[in-house]
Amino acid sequence: MNKFIPYAHHDIDDNDIKSVVEVLKSDWLTTGPKIQEFETLFANFVNAKFAVAVNSATSGLDISVTALNIDENSEIITTPLTFAASANCILYNRCKPIFADIDKNTMNIDPEKIKEKITSKTKAIIPVHYAGQPCDMDAITEIAKEHNLYIIEDAAHAVAAEYKGRRIGSISDITVFSLHAAKNITTGEGGVITTNNEDVYKKLLLLRSHGIDRSTLQRHGSSGSYIYDMKLLGKNYRMTDFQAALGISQLSKAEKIRQIRESIALRYNKELSKIKEITIPEVINNVVHARHLYPILLDKKINRDKFFESMRSKNIGVNVHYIPIYELSYYKNLYNLAEKDFPITSDISSREISLPLHTLMTDEDVNYIIDSIKVCIGELS
């Protein structure tokens, strides 16, 4: 039998390793010069004014909500078809997550459903670029303007994605990227926040490091002073310098990695579009898809869980993205939301399967996966 093909895999080469080792041999392991270099390069990459590196996207989302001074008990709207972190950041800040159903074609939050959920307590929207496909940002931006809401984009899947010719990361008040090992580019664990707002930027820098106003680097050396002040109740969400070095090296390959992922997605499209029991992911006009995930939808008459087991038994690391947030015990206990209020999410989440998609996959891997899908569909229909 073939080797297990995971749904995601990091792409680390000798240059990546060399840049990390250089920092490990230097004087600064954390809060040093590589962080700033990485932040400048990342901001340039997405064409944003400012970037703040953090130890995860989860941390980034947490301090993004904090940085916007949103009152406790405010409502923040997000999608239920996402990873828990997209909604957890709302709870960390003592606000209430409100879920708006998704669009059945893109599986992204549906702007029309956002409108239905707006109340006098709504303060922000957290759209998630599911699978790496940008949300309908024009529509979401218009809603935000009309109701005076902030937008924090969860772009964990969307490094190198574009919306109408603009890289994701430059459009909204704040955008948060993940550099977790399973994401398109990685620092092991890590995240980056981008913004064009200088006040927000300064606040994020404070919140990342205890709310303290001068970094270790600034206090270092013969003319350094011991004096600092703590201005806000911040966290320790700092990224290390060796991770930033890896980030720099990974970022230089981000576009190449996206293109490889795109070419695998197109091969899947070509073969899987011939199978009537499968719906392939739709890409809307005027976007560049980051291709973080390749989510297919199975026809209702194919049992998804049996299909999952059958593919796994063939050593294919299929996955499911996601169990809707309102179905997770913690959220069930808190809100007990009814599945019937999210008809699209509940239908799609019961039929979705993510196929392996990463740069280490060979042509043979892709062919094997496509052939195995045909076998499984045949057995289960």
Ligand X SMILES: *Cc1c(COP(=O)(O)O)cnc(C)c1O
Binding residue (CB under 6 A) for ligand X from 66, 178, 346, 372: 178
Distance CA 294, CA 165 (A): 22
- Contact between 354 and ligand X by CB under 6 A: the answer reads no
Name every residue whose Cβ is closer than 8 Å to that of residue 32 and which is 6 or more positions away in sequence: 23, 26, 217, 241
155 versus 200: smaller Cβ distance to ligand X = 155
134 versus 376: smaller Cβ distance to ligand X = 134
- Contact between 345 and ligand X by CB under 6 A: the answer reads no
Distance CA 77, CA 329 (A): 20
- Any idea what the Cα angle at residue 190 is, between residues 187 and 191, rounded to 5°? 120
Binding residue (CB under 6 A) for ligand X from 191, 234, 247, 295: 191
Angle formed by the axes of helices 363-380 and 254-272, to 10°? 40
What backbone phi and psi angles, to 5 degrees, belong to 286?
Answer: 65, 25
Binding residue (CB under 6 A) for ligand X from 43, 52, 53, 57: 57
CB of 277 to ligand X, least distance (A): 27
Binding residue (CB under 6 A) for ligand X from 65, 76, 85, 369: 85
CB of 86 to ligand X, least distance (A): 5
Which range of residues in 149-157, 211-219, 280-288, 328-336 is near ligand X by CB under 6 A?
A: 149-157
Binding residue (CB under 6 A) for ligand X from 31, 56, 74, 184: 56
154 to 173, contacts with ligand X by CB under 6 A? Answer: 154, 156-157
CB of 157 to ligand X, least distance (A): 6
The CA–CA distances, whole Å, from 380 to 2, 298, 351, 374 equal 22, 11, 14, 10
CB of 206 to ligand X, least distance (A): 20
Q: Is the peptide bond before 322 cis (omega within 30 degrees of 0)?
A: yes
131 versus 272: smaller Cβ distance to ligand X = 131
- Contact between 126 and ligand X by CB under 6 A: the answer reads no
- Contact between 128 and ligand X by CB under 6 A: the answer reads yes
Count of C-beta atoms within a 10 Å radius of residue 4: 11
Which SS3 state, helix, strand or coil, does residue 359 take? coil
Which SS3 state, helix, strand or coil, does residue 288 take? strand
Q: To which residue do tokens 């996959």 refer?
A: 361
Which SS3 state, helix, strand or coil, does residue 125 take? strand
Distance CA 295, CA 218 (A): 46
Binding residue (CB under 6 A) for ligand X from 180, 208, 291, 304: 180
185 versus 373: smaller Cβ distance to ligand X = 185
Residues that bind ligand X (CB under 6 A): 56-58, 82-83, 85-86, 128, 154, 156-157, 178, 180, 191
